[in-house]
Amino acid sequence: MDTKELLKKVRKIEIKTRRLSDHVFGGEYHSTFKGRGMTFSEVRQYQYGDDVRSIDWNVTARYNEPHIKVFEEERELTLMLMADISGSEFFGTDAQFKNEIITEIVATLAFSAMQNNDKVGIILFTDQIELFVPPKKGKSHILRIIRELLEFKPSSKKTDLSQALKYLSNVMKKKGHCFCAFRFYDTRV
């Protein structure tokens, strides 16, 4: 697939899935509570422009320099996507192959996560881990994920979901969500 054709396909998927994520998933879990997040992250030295209300007076008294409490946003989640890219990827109907359907599902979930300021990562697997893209934020990162799904050539035609799930449990350090798109048929050995 040449670059021009690939970019055209990525743009088409982006337009189609962006509309889906805007209407179906948009604003699903915004908090009703206003103000800063409730999860404490760290204490750091006061810098010009910091909010005076966030000064930690106990630490300030201990070190004789102003320090502030830093909070993480409560709803910043990690979304890990797992896609089976084994030999069955070109299985499907006249209208669409399995790999195109998986790409659209992954893109819809990724754009939905982007709207909620969540990190998105992906694991492409067969009977081994073919590619791991670590979670990041941003539209360019999501477009990279879509591009990888469209042009990646797997080295194996078998499927082993247990291997992919073991790898996922090793790379996920924080809480997050995981979506797995595969064909529900494990072809180990």
Strands 67-72 and 177-181: unpaired
* Mutual angle of helices 98-115 and 139-151, in 10-degree steps: 170
The answer on 116 and 172 residing in a single domain is: yes
The answer on 157 and 79 residing in a single domain is: yes
The answer on 44 and 19 residing in a single domain is: no
Alpha-carbon span 142 to 148, nearest angstrom: 10
Q: In tens digits, what is the pLDDT along the chain, a chain of 189 residues? A: 566 776 777 777 777 766 665 554 445 554 444 445 567 788 999 999 999 999 999 999 999 999 999 876 656 688 899 988 887 555 656 666 777 788 888 888 888 888 878 899 999 988 899 999 999 988 889 889 888 888 888 888 888 888 889 999 998 877 788 888 876 555 554
The answer on 80 and 66 residing in a single domain is: no
Rounded to two decimals, the pTM is 0.63
The answer on 132 and 56 residing in a single domain is: no
Please choose, from the candidates 23, 165, 177, the residue with its C-alpha nearest in 3D space to the C-alpha of residue 108.
23
* Mutual angle of helices 3-20 and 139-151, in 10-degree steps: 120
Asked if 121 and 168 count as a contact pair (C-beta separation under 8 A), the reply is no
The answer on 56 and 131 residing in a single domain is: no
The answer on 129 and 58 residing in a single domain is: no
The answer on 8 and 63 residing in a single domain is: no
Joined tokens for residue 137: 């934020």
Tell me if 188 is assigned to some domain. no
What pLDDT does residue 156 have?
A: 83
Q: How many domains does the chain have?
A: 2
Alpha-carbon span 158 to 31, nearest angstrom: 43
The answer on 173 and 119 residing in a single domain is: yes
Tell me if 150 is assigned to some domain. yes
The answer on 58 and 129 residing in a single domain is: no
**Where in the sequence is the domain holding 55, given as residue range(s)?**
39-72
Phi, psi of 186 (to 5 degrees): -90, 125
Asked if 161 and 180 count as a contact pair (C-beta separation under 8 A), the reply is yes
